[in-house]
Structure 1
């Protein structure tokens, strides 16, 4: 037992982690996150807002910082499309942060909360993805179907 405990203490002492990005949106102003739905320039806190070319109804107002409740504070609120096509995204690049990490720290950990809302017939999905630096490959992610409340990832 003592050897096992000693081994655990030594392993814990040798491990390290660093936080590259931590954000809870409470310091942001309630209202639009970005300045456009094209992703051309960063908005509050360096976050970008984009809509796919098939989503013709997206505007800057589709992406909001909103007050939720005392427990959760301010949150990101994305108003989804009423159509069955298109997508809307809020993202922040961590490429520069990743390049400044301590050598050998090659694990990404993401923590987030999703408010699922009431039952709905919406075909929208809420997704959290980690992309490669070219935004062409999904490295990891999770998706919540709003109509079934099924989580995949």
Structure 2
């Protein structure tokens, strides 16, 4: 009986995620085929946010909050043009947490965020209240949020919409 409940729960979580997210290609068109590797944006229908998809080309890029090299984390997002959209930004910590499905592992849906099976730390735009030289980030495989110095280089996943 226990296994039946667990399997039913996992199936419902999987179905929920499939209804929740949509895939968008480089031209801004919906990509219906799950087997296609041509999507670059995830459309979150629950939050009305659109998320940058990390590809093998930009998966390992990391930025500090402050300019160190070409871009800061914030500048990277604000300079991004993807799917015909140019209003990307660094998400706040609650927006990042909205991607997490704590009942599964990994906690990000790898049917959509396929490159997040590897542990990544994603910066948020949220400064830590007790120390303005620190900001919040989230770990992609556990969904746990932490704060650290803004000079640390971490991954960035840009977002748009949801104002």
Normalising by structure 2, we get a TM-score of: 0.25
Higher relative contact order (CA 8 A, sep 6+): 2
Greater Rg over alpha carbons, structure: 1
Bigger fraction of residues in strand: 1
More helix by share: 2
TM-score by length of 1: 0.26
